[in-house]
Amino acid sequence: MGKLFGTDGVRGVVGESLTPELALRLGRAIGAYFGKGARVLVGRDVRAGGAMIECALTAGLLAEGVRVYSAGLLPTPALQYGVKSLGFDGGVMITASHNPPEYNGVKVIAADGIEIPREDEKIIEDYYFRGVSSSLPWREYAYNPQVRADVLETYINAIVDMVDSDLIRRAGLKVVVDCANSVGSLATPEVLRRLGVKALTLNCNLNPEFPGREPEPTVESLRVAAETVKIYGADFGVGHDGDADRAIVITDEGEVIWGDRSGTLLTEFSAEEWRELPRRTYTGVSSSILVEQYLNPLGIKVVWTPVGSVVISRMIQRDGGAISGFEENGGYMHVPHHIVRDGAMTTALMAYMLAKERGSLSEKVKKLPRYYPIKTKIPMNRERALCAVEAVKKYYSGYRQVTIDGVKVIGDDFWVLVRPSGTEPVLRIMLEARSKEKAEKLLEEVKRAIDESCGPRR
């Protein structure tokens, strides 16, 4: 059987690997999965081809007897919250998240508002590759998709209600928001306005070409936002990805911090604010070991998971809840709100933490163990990538290892993760050490171990 789904949905270049023909056939497969009469909410971000894909995919859903409801343009977590809170049987979000502008994609959402489990992705793939299609009586085709204009408002209200808006308003916070020219601009600035926060917006006009910056929030892409935080004298800044389910945070000193750092601080705060939650957090193996070093002494158990937000969400759900789930890429899940990563909720929660605890974000970050990070990727096919994983396992056999997704090697003053990408033909290498020199030396050591075991790179 073929493969459609990657780490986070179906993705491809619009007009090349992602065509209206594929969307139509995928719509039929998703429709067969949900079943005739199912009520499915469909939304999209600003990416090129979104309307085309939505029309083709909707046609496929309708052909399988699904009742389609259009939420229009909105962030992925807004659609997910709408599916859960408004009683839909499922949802489909058209987005390629952080991928370059030429990409688009499809995420399938279950009735609980979380992306469908991996095993259910295989069901849809089976329907797709077998070409499953229903033949309905002509009267069944009389149904017209319905517009649901209340989804975004429902989502925004839920976020505002989750935090103490009066406390935040009295704090007089200022925040810089970089919306990546996409749908984050429809939610996060409005959330902050309702919380009484003065928001300075960057790249918050909708543009499918992403002219302000690439849709993936990184240290490089957020340089302007980081400088703006310092010039504006903001308490913090956030940068969203293309569908605004992630929020990379910038301190008041203009330091862009990864999601494992901000996630650690928000988990510490939430553990005190929502004391009824189980004292554990779930994070992907790509997160720093500082998460354990900081949270374990506070009595908060850290559960390592494979990379992928759906995996984290489903593990939290399976195990009966947690304080949070998060990824180093800026995806934070505030479990009392919804067990999905959510950029606007993360922003509101950060404002709540600073308003209640006082002190600056930069001061809080400096409490965390300090590591120098390196993140890189090497083009290679999956066979060689799997060889690389085995090579690293063997080379560092005397160290603690986490092998649930590639291999993560943990030393006293360093860690390194080597794993095949789930979305492109590359080997991802992430590592941290106490110094820049140690980190750079570690990277060369890892590359050498791979070349010696798997042969030199071509």
Alpha-carbon distance of 371 to 170, in angstroms, equals 35
Q: What is the pTM of this model?
A: 0.93
Alpha-carbon distance of 72 to 94, in angstroms, equals 10
Strands (E), 110-219: 146-147, 174-178, 198-202
* Catalytic residue (one of 17, 70, 85, 97): 97
Q: Identify the H or E element spanning 90.
A: strand 90-94
Q: Which tokens hold the place of 212?
A: 């302000």
Q: What share of the chain is helix, strand, coil (3-state, %, to 5)?
A: 40, 25, 35
Q: How many CB atoms lie within 10 A of CB 241?
A: 32
- Let me know if 97 is a catalytic residue: yes
Contact of 179 with 204, CB cutoff 8 Å: yes
Look at strands 332-334 and 324-326 and give their pairing: antiparallel
Contact of 154 with 216, CB cutoff 8 Å: no
| DSSP codes of every residue in 216-281 | S--TTTTHHHHHHHHHHT-SEEEEE-TTSS-EEEE-TTS-EE-HHHHHHHHHHHHHHHSTTS-SEE
- Give the pLDDT of residue 282: 98
Q: Enumerate residues 6+ apart whose C-beta is below 8 A from 240.
A: 177, 178, 179, 180, 182, 184, 188, 217, 246, 247, 343
Contact of 234 with 174, CB cutoff 8 Å: yes
Residue linked to tokens 């808006």:
165
Contact of 174 with 233, CB cutoff 8 Å: yes
- Give the pLDDT of residue 2: 74
* CA-based R_g, the chain, Å: 22
Q: Which tokens hold the place of 242?
A: 């293309």
Among the residues of 276-373, which ranges form H helices? 290-295, 309-318, 343-357, 361-365
Contact of 248 with 259, CB cutoff 8 Å: yes
- Give the pLDDT of residue 385: 95
Please give the domain boundaries of the chain with CATH numbers for all domains: 10-149 (3.40.120.10), 154-365 (3.40.120.10), 372-454 (3.30.310.50)
Alpha-carbon distance of 214 to 178, in angstroms, equals 11
Alpha-carbon distance of 61 to 36, in angstroms, equals 9
Q: Mind listing the pLDDT tens digit of every residue in the chain (458 residues)? A: 678 998 789 999 999 999 999 999 999 999 999 999 999 999 999 999 999 999 999 999 999 999 999 999 999 999 999 999 999 999 999 999 999 999 999 999 999 999 999 999 999 999 999 999 998 999 988 899 999 999 999 999 999 999 999 999 999 999 999 999 999 999 999 999 999 999 999 999 999 999 999 999 999 999 999 999 999 999 999 999 999 999 999 999 999 999 999 999 999 999 999 999 999 999 999 999 999 999 999 999 999 999 889 999 999 999 999 999 999 999 999 999 999 999 999 999 999 999 999 899 999 999 999 999 999 999 999 999 999 999 999 999 999 999 999 999 999 899 999 999 877 789 999 999 999 999 999 999 999 999 999 987 66
- Give the pLDDT of residue 424: 78
Task: Give me the count of residues in the chain.
Answer: 458
User: Most distant CA pair in the chain: distance in Å?
Assistant: 70
The three-state (H, E, C) secondary structure of 391-440, written as one string: HHHHHCCCCEEECCCCEEEECCCEEEEEEECCCCCEEEEEEEECCHHHHH
